Amino acid sequence: MAKPKDTYYLTAHCAGSLGTVDVVTRYLCEQGCYVVEMQTFDDVLSGHFFIRVEFRPPRTTPFDEAGFRQGWQPRAAQFAMQWELVAAEVRPNVVIMVSRLDHCLNDLLYRYRTGQLAIEIPAIISNHPDLQRLADWHHIPFYHLPVSDENRAEQEEQVLGIIKECEADLVVLARYMQVLSPELCAALTGKAINIHHSLLPGFRGERPYHQAYDKGVKLVGATAHYINNDLDEGPIITQGVEVVDHSHYPEQLTARGRDIECITLARAVQYHIERRVFLHNGKTVVFTN
């Protein structure tokens, strides 16, 4: 859901040391800012500190964002903090990639249309033409870019061109059933989210839920993660799981799994756009809401 226009996210991370929380909260207090939500994590294993603050500037005067940044920079520099300030009302551009399965795309488009996800979707990219009408109904440009072993490099160059042209802040692979090249993975590091069922690595390939049924699985779920060059093994943002039993036939397992995929992917996108996710040392720190 869209945040109030006067809300900001301040995120920072640095080596853990005395005074890291104080320097953030003290500066916000001095600026007359009201803290709506604050979460911190001190990783004792890596010695690294993370903080996310959602705040409202004083309502008596217009917020001077440039002045806030200028005043905050020397405070953050004392701790060598890497930081980001983002207005919550800014709607990031999200390019969606999809193949033939439409459940995750449908769910994201519904949440976009109803305002549950405060994003803009400037493009949908697919290696199949099947979902053209769905994109057209939402008045979103649809790019059909077939891919094969022979044209993969050219196709990915087109994909990256569209992403750049759209000035995409995030790319979502909503069941895009193609393995991305190392080059494209590198270009999208930290800004592309994938979703897959959590039956991996046991049930790879086609009809995973049928394979799971044959083995009598008792849990089905989904994993949303940032992409990297290790197939389906990128830094995890969020996961969902549900208990099943012997009475669930393959079709029911598939339906349950797809529901969880939709919810898990939407949650990961929400966490990303609300600046709740930190990437550090190949894994994530996620401040859930």
Could you give the strand order of the β-sheet that contains 8-15, starting from the edge strand earlier in sequence? 34-43, 48-56, 8-15, 82-87
Round to whole Å and give the CA distance between 173 and 13.
Answer: 28
* Cβ atoms of residues 97 and 126 within 8 Å: yes
Q: How far apart (Å, rounded) are the C-alpha atoms in residues 106 and 128? A: 16
User: What CA–CA distance (Å, rounded) separates 40 from 51?
Assistant: 4
SS3 38: strand
Between CA 185 and CA 86 the distance in angstroms is 25
- Tell me which residue has tokens 């993370």: 50
116: tokens are 């549950």
Residue 268 near residue 224 (C-beta atoms within 8 A): yes
Residues taking part in catalysis: 232
> Would you say 238 and 264 are in contact if contact means Cβ atoms under 8 Å apart?
yes
Roughly how many angstroms between the first and final C-alpha of the chain, as a whole number? 12
